[in-house]
Amino acid sequence: MPEVELGEAARKIAPVQAPAVSRGRDLRLDLFRGIALWLIFLDHIPSNIVAWITIRNYGFSDATEIFVFVSGYTAAFVYGKQMRERGFIVASAQLLRRAWQIYVAHVFLFAIYLAEIIYVATRFENPLYAEEMNILDFLKQPDVTIIQALLLKFKPANMDVLPLYIILLLLFPPTLWLLQWRSTLALGASVLLYVLTWHFNWNLPSYPSGHWFFNPFAWQLLFVFGAWCAMGGAERLSAVLRSRVTLAVAFAYLVFAFCISFTWYVPYAGQFVPKWLEEVIYPIDKTNLDVLRFAHFIALAVVAVRFIPQDWPPLNSRTLWAPIICGQHSLEIFCLGVFLSFAAHFAMTEISGAFWMQITASALGILIMIAAAWLLTWYKGAEGRSAGARPKKTPDADLAGGEV
């Protein structure tokens, strides 16, 4: 797509998007979310050699942190404007509708997942895996399983992110209200909830046992922190972000995390990690958004913001067009990514699991994600341009990456 058109589209939405507190749309958010969506897709294909390039192998945090932070940022950006212009009730209603859309998307993915595993179940009798086949026991009670899935208690592997997103949006109206008036108080409340969650082990229950893999009471911290940054927090932090000391600390921490992650893949290197340090850092708790993970994300963000300014020329060029449009249609592309990771696994089991297939499936999947995002952009443009089309009253959150 020529950059002229994208520039035109950006100009068109600019007046709608310009928030009171920020200088307008930040394409870096779309870029990072688009890349995060690709990385999540690659990580979701099991036994995928291409997943070695994803950031989770080189530090504590992974693409989920980027996705949740940017989603919080864009949600505040879009619905904050609605709340200021049209009031608490309307903005809350829009947030709830958004949560409902994500719920429907999740159930749709669950249906595809069920079809895949029933296929596996009916064709698999390798005696080596007699024990693993017990996982299909839940198919003996499909009524219970489906109801538990609709209640968001039964969540198959790799389908934990959307339920987290739903809860975050459901909790967001009062948070956003507080962010408008006393943004730092809202952030403080979020930190307090995070601390209390760690202290009292709060989490939501799962079926058949255990709790949510992404604890919403812990992960809300990153979402609210993203929202706080959108509501002017980023500008308040700008002096800290510009400081050389901050950059040095961030770099040092990233190198430290890289060294620790190295010991996960080269067990021999483990002996160079002092015992006391192991006691301090492990376990690195993904479920409850470990402080080490949060800090790793912040360090990545500090470095990224430092070297990629908001007016960085490639952001408006053809080079980064593909990840940016993917980031601009995050819900659709995320769901497509989950589906494509199932499809890639299916191709690996039915055709070949060899390296050429892993690389082909990964590349093809990303191309399909780009094509779909391009199609969605085209639809939006075509609808906006059609004669007699009334300007949309609802906020076009697609363009900020978090649709309504």
Number of residues that bind another protein (CB under 8 A): 56
- In angstroms, rounded to a whole number, what is the distance separating the alpha carbons of residues 71 and 165? 9
Assign 221 to helix, strand or coil: helix
Interface with another protein, residue 61, by CB under 8 A: no
The token pair that represents 270 in the structure block? 């483990």
Q: Which stretch binds another protein (CB under 8 A): 23-31, 279-287, 369-377, 383-391?
A: 279-287
- In angstroms, rounded to a whole number, what is the distance separating the alpha carbons of residues 335 and 159? 10
> Which of positions 134-153 make contact with another protein (CB under 8 A)?
134-136
Rounded to a whole number of angstroms, the minimum distance from the CB of residue 78 to another protein is 32
**Contact (CB, 8 A) for 303 and 251:** yes
> Which of positions 219-278 make contact with another protein (CB under 8 A)?
264-268, 270-271, 278
Contact with another protein (CB under 8 A) among 14, 53, 144, 367: 53
- In angstroms, rounded to a whole number, what is the distance separating the alpha carbons of residues 337 and 343? 10
Contact with another protein (CB under 8 A) among 15, 143, 199, 209: 209
Contact with another protein (CB under 8 A) among 353, 368, 374, 381: 353
* Cβ-defined contacts of 375-384 (< 8 Å, 24+): 376/325, 376/329, 376/332, 377/1, 377/9, 377/325, 377/328, 377/329, 381/5, 381/9, 384/12
Phi (first) and psi of residue 102, to 5 degrees: -70, -35
> Which of positions 10-49 make contact with another protein (CB under 8 A)?
46-47, 49
CA distances from residue 196 to 76, 173, 285, 320, 383 in whole angstroms, order as listed? 24, 21, 16, 41, 47
Closer residue to another protein (CB): 125 or 311: 125
Instruction: Tell me what percent of the chain is helix, strand and coil, each rounded to the nearest 5.
Output: 75, 0, 25
Closer residue to another protein (CB): 93 or 146: 146
- In angstroms, rounded to a whole number, what is the distance separating the alpha carbons of residues 162 and 374? 23
The token pair that represents 161 in the structure block? 């992110």
Contact with another protein (CB under 8 A) among 20, 89, 147, 157: 157
Rounded to a whole number of angstroms, the minimum distance from the CB of residue 50 to another protein is 8
Q: Which stretch binds another protein (CB under 8 A): 22-30, 102-110, 118-126, 383-391?
A: 118-126
Contact with another protein (CB under 8 A) among 10, 13, 93, 120: 120
Beta partners for 211?
Answer: 205
Rounded to a whole number of angstroms, the minimum distance from the CB of residue 211 to another protein is 6
Assign 64 to helix, strand or coil: helix
Contact with another protein (CB under 8 A) among 125, 307, 390, 391: 125
**Contact (CB, 8 A) for 311 and 382:** no
Closer residue to another protein (CB): 120 or 308: 120
**Contact (CB, 8 A) for 318 and 3:** yes
Closer residue to another protein (CB): 49 or 303: 49
The token pair that represents 100 in the structure block? 């409902």
Contact with another protein (CB under 8 A) among 2, 4, 126, 143: 126
> Which of positions 283-342 make contact with another protein (CB under 8 A)?
283, 285-287, 341-342
DSSP state of 22: S
The token pair that represents 17 in the structure block? 């998007």
Binding site for another protein (CB under 8 A): 46-47, 49-50, 52-53, 57-58, 113, 116-117, 120, 123-136, 156-158, 206, 208-211, 213, 264-268, 270-271, 278-279, 282-283, 285-287, 341-342, 345, 348-349, 353, 355
